[in-house]
A and B are shown apart, each in its own frame.
Chain A
């Protein structure tokens, strides 16, 4: 036990003291935030205010009707072309338009699906959608006038019935929040499994290529060596995770203390909303559990592969492909589980050990025991523990043989034979 502890300490300290650890710990949340805000920002920025010539053959469009909507919404500018339409079509650019739309001679009761915004450039759907929406508002005004529907009637007509899912077992549940947390938790576990799993694999490969493996196994058992590495790297991942939580808490408290700032208060407000709508301690506990158990499950397999291959990174990649596929399949199942958290894919995906760390974490925010009954959670956890005991045992057997083998890359079949060989 003492020897495992020495190995854990080395694996942990050598990684945590590296510059790359500090940089990646700081950079990941920044990148993550950057990605979220950046995408919204770019989408907003890349929208163009199009100036569109409307060539009307139907006779319904009037300058007054168009101007009314131009004033209400300046995301695009529509101009009714009077007089020589052919001249505009031939030379819309010099007239100052980005493009033109020809309204054919249609009946106001019919409408038309086949109008075209013609221009010599391609515009994003965001920009053309604004034009379409405005055109439809004008069309509505025209229809309302023809049907003699006044403003009061219009308002009555737009009234709708809203339906929001509400779980009676969990009064505070909020599907939108749950979905968001589920995505974040699932993806975090996905990243951790892939990134730290491959770190275990590389660590084992390093020991093999540096030829230190046999030196170490003359002091400790190969199983201790593997376990020490997995636990050490798991602790590194946990440390990184705690630093991120601390980072969030600091941002939260600073935001709360500073009070007034627009974005800060908004963030604090939305976080408070999250804290009240979900069971934060349960989610954190489950996250810790699935993160560690999932990490043991996968990293031991990655470790076994690291022990079996030689220096060649490509060998490792081709051999670890099936394992990586399992992680990726889990993400696909997670997406299905989030859209239908009580469906059969969600239930089975969150119980079967290989996908449960990711899929279950996506379901839990929807509420326990509302969406995830206690028996499912217990079964999932129990099976995952069994699962990782099995993979760690299996990996240990492969590791024991692989770590001392040099030469040809083994196949999965050979590795399975190693696992069932006597010492």
Chain B
């Protein structure tokens, strides 16, 4: 089966900025896809093109194997923008119904689905309440429900956990896994890296309108690893001299961080340590966190992009 979404050389220039500058990527079906980048990297513009809000200046969007048709395909997409909200004065049930109908659901269909979700999230008693009576967390739950209600093939969540307490965060997180399991594809945009590591299979990092990283979480970590290992031992390693196959980076309590020298490998390190009579309690590879990788790649670029004159 073809990928759910394929972006080919997408470009979107604004008067003062190359918001999206030639980005191509592929989102496979059933993936939880992390779209990462610092503020102002072009994430939102990219998402707005995928959701049919903006038209790309150049490039193609292939949705579900066909050329993306903004008018009809938006019914298969659920989008929860970062700047999100609901009508404050409108009753919750009517609000969910309204948004569902705008996605093309019939009244009867929408009603059944709203009931299902409201029961799942224990929101049945809210039907006649107004949004202004809800806490922020409750509002976010409702927002999530209205995003996924029409069973979209592609769900795009922009910072979905902002404003949620840990309990509700977990609830939404579990739902994201459930939706992916049942065949939906999820694009998850954030700059909270610990969440990405926990949730996403595949990530893309954009900066200054360009894609600078693309791969599975595992691949990326392998790619950016620095051959660091941690060794647990009650003995000190600093007294070891001579031809060590590693250099010692630091020690704390009974844990030591080493970097394996070029041309060496973990086995050689272990062999050497055993020969030296070191009692090893643990030996682990230290992979870089996505946070480290993110900072390393993005560092040095100003957080707010400089405005540049574009001749479009």
Binding site for B on A (CB under 8 A): 3, 6-7, 10, 14, 206-207, 210-212, 214-221, 404, 406, 421, 423
Contacts and interface: CB of A to CB of B under 8 A. Distances in A.
Nearest to B57: A422
Nearest to A423: B55
Max count, chain B CB within 10 A of own CB: residue among A207, A214, A216, A220: A214
Interface stretch (B99-107, B221-229, B284-292): B99-107
Given A6-B102, A10-B98, A218 B52 contact: yes
Interface of B: 15, 48, 51-55, 71, 74-75, 77, 79-81, 83-90, 98-99, 101-104, 143, 146
A421 B99 CA distance: 29
A211 B81 CA distance: 9
Given A6-B102, A14-B90, A210-B88, A218 B51 contact: yes
Contact of A214 (B55, B71, B81): B81
A212 B79 contact: no
Given A3-B102, A10-B98, A423-B54, A218 B84 contact: no
Given A215-B84, A215-B143, A423-B55, 14 more contacts: A14-B87, A207-B87, A210-B87, A211-B81, A212-B86, A214-B53, A214-B81, A215-B86, A215-B99, A217-B53, A218-B51, A218-B53, A219-B99, A220-B102
Contacts of A207: 87
B77 A218 contact: yes
Contacts of B80: 215
Contacts of B81: 211, 214-215, 218
Contacts of A217: 53
A423 B12 CA distance: 10
Given A14-B90, A219-B102, A212 B74 contact: no
Contact of B85 (A10, A211, A219, A423): A211
Nearest to B47: A218
A69 B60 CA distance: 96
Contact of B83 (A10, A211, A216, A421): A211
A249 to B, nearest CB: 34
B86 A219 contact: no
Given A219-B74, A423-B54, A423-B55, A214 B102 contact: no
Query: Is chain B's binding surface mostly helix, strand, loop or mixed?
Result: loop
16 contacts: A6-B98, A6-B101, A6-B102, A14-B87, A14-B90, A210-B86, A211-B84, A212-B85, A214-B81, A214-B83, A215-B80, A215-B81, A215-B99, A216-B99, A217-B53, A218-B81
A216 B83 CA distance: 12
Contacts of A206: 87-88
Contacts, number: 62
B103 to A, nearest CB: 5
A216 B98 CA distance: 10
Contact of A218 (B79, B86, B88): B79
Contacts of B98: 6, 10
A216 B102 CA distance: 8
B260 to A, nearest CB: 49
A49 B309 CA distance: 79
Given A6-B98, A216-B102, A219-B74, A404 B53 contact: yes
10 closest A-B pairs by CB: A211-B85, A218-B79, A219-B102, A214-B81, A210-B85, A423-B55, A218-B51, A211-B83, A212-B85, A6-B101
B10 to A, nearest CB: 14
Max count, chain B CB within 10 A of own CB: residue among A10, A14, A216, A219: A219
Contacts of A14: 87, 89-90
Contacts of B71: 221
A346 to B, nearest CB: 44
Nearest to B75: A219
